[in-house]
Amino acid sequence: MPTRALALDLAAHPVKTDAMTTGTLTIDLNAIAANWSALNRMTASETGAVVKANAYGLGIERVAPVLAQAGARQFFVAVAEEGVALRRVLGSGPEINVFSGHMPGDADMIRSADLTPMINTVDQMIGHVEALPGHRFGLQLNTGMNRLGMDPAEWAALRDIALNQNPTMIISHLACADDPDHPMNAAQLEIFREMTAGINVPRSLSATGGTLLGPDYHFDLTRPGVGLYGGMPFVDAQPVVSLDLPVIQTRDVSAGSAVGYACGWVAPRPSQIATVSGGYADGLIRAMGNGATLTHKGRKVPVVGRVSMDLITVDVTHLEQVPEHLQLIGMHQSVDTVAEFAGTIGYEVLTALGSRYDRVYIT
């Protein structure tokens, strides 16, 4: 509590309140629709949409209807809970497929939200037909990634029984599709062909990376995720996200002064430092260190010192005027560029985007 005298003083000099102090995350829904259509045009097969993890952090309530409007009819989520939320958004009609399959305790959600689990094991198959006889399901096969899906031996044992129950589709997932030259791609393609030979059920092997590998990888349905949201490896994607962070304070520091926790940066010359709203609690990954930049009208503004929970500090010495906002993600720096600052991938930058931002959707 300020003292009475200070309170009066503050009242006489009101704090400016016309600007927001949280960053502004702008999400271009038209670009997401355009990216879906561009990926769809690359194939002769159907194009689904992967919207797990809250549509890669961008907001499933706003993103999923736009993808449905663009033409997506097959949606994919990671877990049944996400499927329930997605069904509320989409209503009946589009198919909602669950990568983790049918886990114990999922039956009510799968039934009530009309979800299609991608069955991964013999146990899941048994559990599914016992709990929800006649309910739709797909099958996931392991072709070498060794993450989800049935191994060839397990599949050989289950195959005839499973096919008798009319699965909606058979899927597998590529481990190295972001690297077109990786021999794993052709190896998994071959195994997928062998495991599904002679089966008359729609097949799906490729996410964004596999879609870009060409028609051999397309089968009946592709399942792009990150490419919809403007991320690599879809180099021709329209950018979807921009992130502008307000400058809270600026100060001049003398040569030799330290900035931030652990005195992580020491000014080599007299410098002007701006403190910007946004930190690791907002998904600005702390590992992002020296070499990371924000931008102002295309000019780079170096991050100096440690990223803290709510704030980062930047060197604005070279700017004639300190703007109200600096940009982390946008026209001049992609999600993947920012990922490189932190030694990670665009997927992680997107899904880490925090809940404190003022989210603005371009429609």
- Compute the least distance from the CB of residue 227 to ligand PLP, in Å: 6
Q: Is 350 exposed, middle or buried (CB count within 10 Å of its CB: 0-12, 13-18, 19+)? A: buried
Among 102, 128, 223, 306, binds ligand PLP (CB under 6 A): 223
Whole-angstrom distance, CA of residue 121 vs CA of residue 134: 18
Q: Characterise 71 by phi-psi region: left (phi > 0), alpha (psi -120 to 50), beta (else).
A: left
Q: Residue 73 or 286: which CB sits closer to ligand PLP?
A: 73
Of the candidates 16, 52, 297, 357, the residue annotated as catalytic is 52
H/E run at residue 96: strand 95-98
CB of 172 to ligand PLP, least distance (A): 8
CA atoms of 358 and 354, how far apart (whole Å): 10
At 53 the three-state DSSP class reads helix
DSSP strand pairing (221-222 vs 46-47): parallel
In the bound state, the residue with its beta carbon closest to ligand PLP is: 225
Using CB under 6 A as the binding rule, whether residue 99 contacts ligand PLP is answered as yes
Decide if 52 is catalytic: yes
Q: Is 117 in the site for ligand PLP (CB under 6 A)?
A: no
- Tell me if residue 261 is catalytic: yes
Residue among 29 and 350 whose Cβ is closer to ligand PLP: 350
Which are the contacts of 159, defined by CB distance < 8 A and separation ≥ 6? Answer: none
Would you count residue 225 as binding ligand PLP (CB under 6 A)?
yes
Say which of 56, 217, 229, 261 is annotated catalytic.
261
Cα–Cα distance, 159 to 163 (Å, whole number) = 6
Helix axes 122-131, 152-164, angle to 10 degrees: 20
Q: Does 219 bind ligand PLP (CB under 6 A)?
A: no
Which two three-digit tokens encode residue 191?
Answer: 């195994």
Contact between 203 and ligand PLP by CB under 6 A: the answer reads no
The nearer residue to ligand PLP, 29 or 141, going by C-beta atoms, is: 141
The residue from 224, 246, 278, 346 that contacts ligand PLP (CB under 6 A) is 224
Nearer to ligand PLP, 31 or 50 (CB): 50
- Helix boundaries (H) for 27-177: 29-41, 52-56, 60-70, 80-90, 107-112, 122-131, 152-164
Window 44-63: contact mask with ligand PLP (x via CB under 6 A): ------x-x-----------
Look up residue 308 and give its two tokens: 């803290």
Mask for 161-200, x = binds ligand PLP (CB under 6 A): ------------x---------------------------
**Is residue 226 involved in binding ligand PLP (CB under 6 A)?**
yes
Cα(326)–Cα(274) distance, integer angstroms = 10
Binding ligand PLP (rule: CB under 6 A), the pick from 74, 124, 142, 208 is 208
Measured from the CB atom, is 209 or 230 closer to ligand PLP?
209
Q: What are the catalytic residues? A: 52, 261
Binding site for ligand PLP (CB under 6 A): 50, 52, 99, 173, 207-209, 223-227
